[in-house]
Each structure stands twice: as structure tokens, then as C-alpha cells.
Chains A and B, each alone.
Chain A
Amino acid sequence: MKKTVWKDVLLYMVLIILACLFLFPLVWMVISSFKTESRIFMDLTSFNAFLPTDFTFANYSAVFERIPFFRYIITSTLYVSVIVVLGLFVNSLAAYAFARMTFKGRDVLFAAVVALIIIPFESILLPLYLIVDELDWLNTYQALIVPFIANAFNIFMFRQFFLNLPKELEESARMDGASTLRIFFQIVIPLSKPVFITVALLTFITHWGDFMWPLIATTDESVRPLQVGMQFFFHQPPVKYGHIMAALTMGTIPLLLIFLFFQKYYVRGIASAGMKN
């Protein structure tokens, strides 16, 4: 009995040390965002760095004065949401065709789509830029959205799910004379909520973190997403610790909310990604 108590104490000690290691940068970020610049430096050499020794909103108002922070958030939310919504439509429809419909060339086409998963985005960056430039889309929302609507991996995920649905409901609806499109919207989609939510979530998180493409495709502030905006702010003099920490803290909130609301689906989503093999 005594042995297990010691084991628990030891475990807690390891856990607490690790938790400090994982949390200290984030705690420092949030706490510092509410301190004056001189206070941040003063506290740096003591444990006060992690304690609220000062309280001011000045850093936050300074961020809003120096950069259009809300606009960055709105731009990011808008373009990522449109990718998610259009992507759900386009990819699930394609996946349904590959899972349930029989037509000439279907299997070849699906194999080709799956093969595309392997292509790393980084290797098509420059030609994609040239294509988007040719379309006259640089510095537009189209440039941020359209290339990312169709997603080979998401088609694959949807198809896997559709294949496992029982066919009977769809077949009886067909007997009643329902069209394929109607079957898809009225029967298949309601049955497939989990996969829709998982794909939506993973797509949102992926594109929320987009950096390289928006950096290249948007030079204009009117379509600059949050990640690029923060990078610019980081290099924009004068560099004030407090201002940057306030911007970073606010920049963390949207994704934090997503995780809080969709925690269950997210964990299931990444777990299913792990089980795929």
C-alpha cells in the first residue's frame, strides 16, 4: 500500500514539472500582456514574471491603435470559413460519387485523387502563384480560398465514412423515386454528421494556421490574414514586449474557443486519423 502512495507522489512531481515546462511560456505571454513595459523587464529575473504584479489594458489599446487587429481576425475567420463550407460540399459530393455511384473511369479517377495526397503544398507554391497571378487574383479573397476548396485527403475521409453507411436507406429511397442529389442531401448528410464536423474542424484549424501562402498571395492589408498580420507587427518598430504579448494573447483566443466548443470532435478526429492505418 505504502509503495503505491510513493509512486503517486513521484508521478505527480513529474507531471507538475512537465506542466510547468509546457505552460510557462503561455502563462508569461498572458501575464505580460497586462503589464507595463518597465514592469515586464523588472519582473523578468524573478518569479514575478508569472504573477500579475501590475494591471493595465494599455497594451491592448496600443495594439488596436497600431494595427487593424479586428480586421485581421475578420479576414481570417471569413476566408477560412468559406474554405470550410465550400470544401464540405465539393469534397463530400465527390466522395459520394466515388463511394456509391457506378460510372466509367470511377476507380481510376479515385486512385488519381488519392495519389494527389502525397504532393506537398510547398512544392507547388511558385507555379500556383503564377496561375493565381494569371487569373488576376493576387490580393483577393479568391486567391486565399479557391485553391483550397477541393482537398484529396478530405475526399478520402468522406468516402471511407460513406462506404461504412448501410445501403438500405438509400436503396429504398431510390425505389420511391428520389433523385441521387436528394438522397444525398436528405439521407446521407444527416447520417454523416460526425465526419462532416471532423473534416470541418480539421480544415478550419489547418487553414487558420496558414502562413506561407497568404504571405505570398496577399501584400495588401485589406486581405491580410491574422498570422501574416502578426508577423508584420512583430517586425514593425517600435518593438514593445507588452504590445506583442497582447497581440499574441488575442491571436490565441479564436482557436482556443474552437477547441473548447468542439473538444470532443477534435479528439475523435485526430484519433481517427491515427487509427486510419
Chain B
Amino acid sequence: MEPSPILRPNRNEKKVTAYSNKGVRQFWLGMGFAGPAVVLLFVFLIMPALLALYYSFTNYYLLTPQLSEFVGFENYQRLAGDTLFLKSLKNTAIFTAIVVPLQTLTALALALLVNQKLKGIKFFRVAFFAPVVTSMVIVSILWTFIYNPDTGLANSILSIVGIGPYQYLMDKDQALYSIIFMSVWQGAGYQMMIFLAGLQDIPDHQYEAASIDGANSWQKLIHITIPGIRNILVFIALVTMIAATKLFIQPFVMTQGGPLDSTKTLVYMVYETGFKFRDVGYSSALAVLFFMIVLVISVVQRKWLRDTSQ
């Protein structure tokens, strides 16, 4: 970045001593390298973040910015009494509370399975990983057809074993769980790969020693495998949890938040209040709250990780 003309004389004055001259040169060299990234991060990340915080205290309406004024905590107070917000919060919480353990354990189980030394095991690794290769939009569209109550694959497969038919996305009590199932199906393979790398780092001699001591498979799992991948386990739980709180694409593509708002999520509401209802102030309050939730999750988990690893 070119320094402004006002600053330039100062820079020349500093040239008097060799020491500060070098310091200034190093500073500008450093800024030359880091500058582009710093400027971009400032304009496209820090500034919008600060603006979100600022807007959350105003009644900024997208079409009439000139009428915007400071309203204090009004937007936040409005949140507390907004039943749609409470429902979105609840849906996001349910999704997260189920997906995190379900997906993490599924991934761990898959990793343990494909870590076996069997012929053709590579095929199964690829099979479990396959859904990851598609995008979330693609699988959401695909599963909307699979979940179709009348002409969907899910009901016709389940009817073979005499279960169903279900309404899936059409039923307010099933829609969120249908999305949960699909999300775990799509994402488990990714975490399986991370677990697999961790499992392969556990030295074989630990298992051999345990076998000599007469340990069975279950004991080996509890006393060698799980402690061996503990850090990865916590890391995956954290990443999955933060990703889960961001749930948006699946309900947007599959249900538009319905039926009866049963799949509305926090991020969905940020989007809807901002871009559909154009209520920038209220949407920003939601966005700030969402940021706080993500922040709390990471701080708590990081602290927990540090405490337990000592």
C-alpha cells in the first residue's frame, strides 16, 4: 500500500538514524508481504462483522436506509418473544445434539471397520466416502426425490421389509429427522478418513502387547484405540458441532423451512429476515447471536480439550 502524502515526510525524518531506518524498511517489507491479505480481511471480514454488530442496534430496513436509527437493545428484546426464533433455535439445537454424536460415532465405527486387514477393504473405504464427493446441494435434491412419499425410493425399499410408508419431508414431525439422516449419510465418510489416519498412527506393538496380556477386542478398543485417537475425536466433535449449527442448504433446498417451520434453522432465519423481509437490523441481531453461539462452543471445547489433556 502506498503511504499517504501526509505520512511521507515523517518517514523521511526517521531516516536520520540507521536503526529506525532499518526498522521502517522492515516494517514496509513485512507489510508488503502481509498487506494484501490484511487489507482484504479487513474489508471483507472485519468490516462486515463490525457492521453486523452495529446494525443489530438499529432499525435499518434495506429499502429505506436513510430512515435508519439507533434503537438500543430493541432487536435483541424482540428475539426473546419471537416464537419463530425460539423454534429455529430449538430445531438447530436438536439437529446439532443428534448429528454430532451420531455422525462422529458412525464415522468412528466405519473407520474401525475399514481399518481391518481384509481383501478388498479399499472398495469399502471408497464406498463410504462416495457421498462426500457430491455436493450438499446435489444430495439434497437427490434425497428430496428419495424421500417422496408416493414415488420415492425410501418407501419402496422399506415396504419390502414391511415398514412404512412414511411422509418424511412432508410431515412436521419427521422432516428434521429425515434431514438428520441424510446429513449423517453425506458427511460420515469425511470424518471416517480422519479417524482412519489416526487409527493407522497407533503402533501395532501396543495391540500385540495387549493380546499377550489376554485382552479381548472390546478392552483393546477402550484402553488403546480410544485414548490413541482422543484428540482427533474431540477435534471432529468440535468441527461437526460448528458445522451443524450452520445448517442451511438442506432445509433451503428440501423443505424451504417447512412444514410448519419444523426445519427452520438459525441461519435460515438470518437469511430470510435479511433477504426476504429486508429487516437488516433484526437479521443482524440474529447473526450476532449466532456468532456468540459458535464462539461459546469453541471456547468451551477448547478449554475442555486443554483441561483434559493435562
Chain A interfacial positions (CB closer than 8 Å to B): 8, 11-12, 14-15, 18-19, 21-26, 28-29, 41, 44-45, 49, 90-91, 93-94, 96-98, 101-106, 109, 113, 116, 118-120, 122-131, 146-150, 152, 155, 180, 184, 208-209, 211-212, 216, 227, 230-231, 234, 241, 244-245, 248, 251-252, 255-256, 259, 267, 270-271, 273-277
Contacts and interface: CB of A to CB of B under 8 A. Distances in A.
Nearest to B284: A126
B33 A119 contact: no
A122 B37 contact: no
Given A11-B118, A101-B26, A216-B275, A119 B135 contact: no
Contacts of B127: 18-19, 22-23
A209 B197 CA distance: 24
Contacts of A21: 185
A123 to B, nearest CB: 4
Nearest to A119: B49
Say whether chain B's binding surface is mostly helix, strand, loop, or mixed: helix
Given A131-B43, A146-B44, A44 B153 contact: yes
Given A101-B26, A241-B145, A150 B128 contact: no
23 contacts: A8-B118, A18-B128, A23-B130, A26-B134, A94-B33, A98-B34, A101-B29, A102-B26, A118-B294, A123-B288, A127-B48, A127-B51, A127-B55, A128-B48, A130-B51, A131-B47, A150-B44, A212-B249, A227-B137, A251-B135, A273-B194, A274-B232, A277-B235
B27 interface: yes
Contacts, number: 251
Interface stretch (B69-77, B78-86, B266-274): B266-274
B52 interface: yes
**A-side interface mostly:** helix
Interface in B179-204: 185, 189-190, 193-195, 197-198
B181 to A, nearest CB: 10
A128 B44 contact: yes
A180 B189 contact: no
B33 A96 contact: yes
Contacts of B194: 270-271, 273-274
A102 B23 CA distance: 9
